[in-house]
Amino acid sequence: MGLFDFFRRSPKPSLATAMGGRYDGRPLLILLENYVLSAIGSLAPDKDQLVASITQRIFGGDADWRATLRTTLQLGDSLDDSLRQMWAEHQQQAQQAGVTLSPEEFARMITDQNFAHLLSPSSN
C-alpha cells in the first residue's frame, strides 16, 4: 500500500485531492510540508500522529518522526530552529506588507524553495 492509497481510502476528501495533483508522484512532499508545519507549531495533534505513523511505516524510527526524517534525508539538526526563525521573519514581512501568510502557504513555499532537490518530479 502506497502513501497515497491511505489518503484515497479516507472518507473525507484528501489533502492530495484538494491540492489538484500537487502531490501526485511526490509522497515525500506531504511529509516535508507537515514537517515544516510541525516545526512552527501549526500541525494539529491528530495530524502529527498520522504523519508519525506514516513516517515510521516508510522509514522506521521511533515516535520522533521529525528526527527520523532529518536523519533519513540528511537534514541538519538545527532545521527546526531555522524553520521557526524563517516563519517569524516571513510573518513580520507579511505584516509589513499588509498581507496574511498562512502556515500552510509558508510550508508549501519553504518546501518548494528548500527541499526541491529531495523530491521526484511530479507526474503532471
**What total of structural domains would you count in the chain?**
1
Domain assignment present for residue 113? The answer is yes
pLDDT at 26 over 70: yes
Q: Which domain holds residue 91?
A: 3-118
Domain assignment present for residue 38? The answer is yes
Domain assignment present for residue 59? The answer is yes
Tell me if the pTM is above 0.85. no
Maximum distance among all Cα pairs of the chain, rounded to whole angstroms: 46
Domain assignment present for residue 124? The answer is no
Domain assignment present for residue 123? The answer is no
Instruction: Work out the percent of the chain whose per-residue pLDDT is above 90.
Output: 65
Domain assignment present for residue 79? The answer is yes
Domain assignment present for residue 110? The answer is yes
* Cα–Cα dist 40/37, whole Å: 5
